């Protein structure tokens, strides 16, 4: 899903960045090894990219979710928001870094039921949180908790929604092209 309007701001590189943007891009490059197209655009607002990077890292390090569960959350949110860039990028991360079974990643990409009951409960609850704007029913919470998750992890899903909303919406506005390293898992809404 792309915005009808496309921002005309050109990507920022380490070579043409002002000092504040350069510092944020250097941090981003240190975290992922390169500067993704998404970051080169989001850094037009250094606060936007800094907030994204900090929240993303905290979710990765402190959420209590396994790497595979983290990808389920990120892919579920990105699919709900229709973010082509994040669906492609997180599909590659899921496949290659987080070791999510391909059947799970493919189901998330297609909006199909997940073949793993615990991951399915996580995805369903994440959908509930996005669709119902953080207003789950008691029954929906009970289903999430009975799958083995915790109340604290409900808050971590809120963090993930905030982080992915930042990136998903920025990508909608920029029509961010998928980096070549993610091209094998390109996705269209």
142 lies in some domain: yes
Which H or E element spans position 95?
Answer: helix 84-96
Instruction: Single out the residue of 41, 40, 34 nearest to residue 3, CA to CA.
Output: 41
Domain that holds residue 127: 19-185
pTM: 0.96
CATH number of the domain bearing residue 122: 1.20.1290.10
Provide the pLDDT for residue 180: 96
Per-residue pLDDT of the chain (189 residues; tens, 9 = 90+): 789 999 999 999 999 999 999 999 998 899 889 999 999 999 999 999 999 999 999 999 999 999 999 999 999 999 999 999 999 999 999 999 999 999 999 999 999 999 999 999 999 999 999 999 999 999 999 999 999 999 999 999 999 999 999 999 999 999 999 999 999 999 998
- What are the distances in angstroms from CA 4 to CA 67, 77, 165, 171, 175? 34, 21, 18, 12, 10
- In this structure, what are the phi and psi dihedrals at residue 88, rounded to the nearest 5 degrees? -65, -50
65 lies in some domain: yes
DSSP, res 12: P
**With 0-12 CB in 10 A as exposed, 13-18 as middle and 19+ as buried, what is 50?**
middle
Domain count of the fold of the chain: 1
- Residues 6 or more apart in contact with residue 3 via CB below 8 angstroms: 172, 173, 175
Q: What is the dihedral of CA 43, 7, 171, 38, to 10 degrees?
A: -40
Provide the pLDDT for residue 32: 86
91 lies in some domain: yes
Provide the pLDDT for residue 31: 85
SS3 call for 5: coil
2 lies in some domain: no
4 lies in some domain: no
6 lies in some domain: no
- In this structure, what are the phi and psi dihedrals at residue 127, rounded to the nearest 5 degrees? -60, -45
């Amino acid at each position: 899903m792309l915005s009808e309007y496309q921002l005309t701001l050109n990507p920022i590189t380490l070579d043409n960045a002002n000092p504040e943007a350069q510092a944020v891009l250097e941090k981003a490059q240190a975290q992922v090894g390169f500067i993704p197209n998404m970051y080169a655009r989001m850094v037009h607002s250094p606060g936007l990219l800094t907030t994204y990077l900090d929240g993303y890292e905290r979710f990765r390090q402190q959420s209590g979710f396994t790497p595979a569960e983290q990808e389920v959350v990120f892919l579920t949110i990105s699919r709900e928001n229709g973010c082509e860039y994040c669906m492609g990028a997180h599909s590659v991360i899921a496949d290659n870094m987080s070791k999510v079974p391909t059947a799970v990643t493919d189901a998330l990409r297609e909006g199909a039921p997940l073949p793993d009951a615990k991951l399915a409960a996580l995805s369903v609850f994440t959908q509930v949180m996005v669709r119902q704007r953080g207003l789950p029913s008691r029954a929906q919470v009970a289903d999430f908790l009975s799958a083995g998750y915790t109340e604290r992890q409900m808050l971590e899903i809120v963090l993930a929604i905030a982080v992915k909303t930042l990136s998903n919406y920025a990508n909608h506005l920029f029509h961010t092209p998928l980096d070549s390293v993610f091209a094998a898992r390109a996705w269209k809404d």
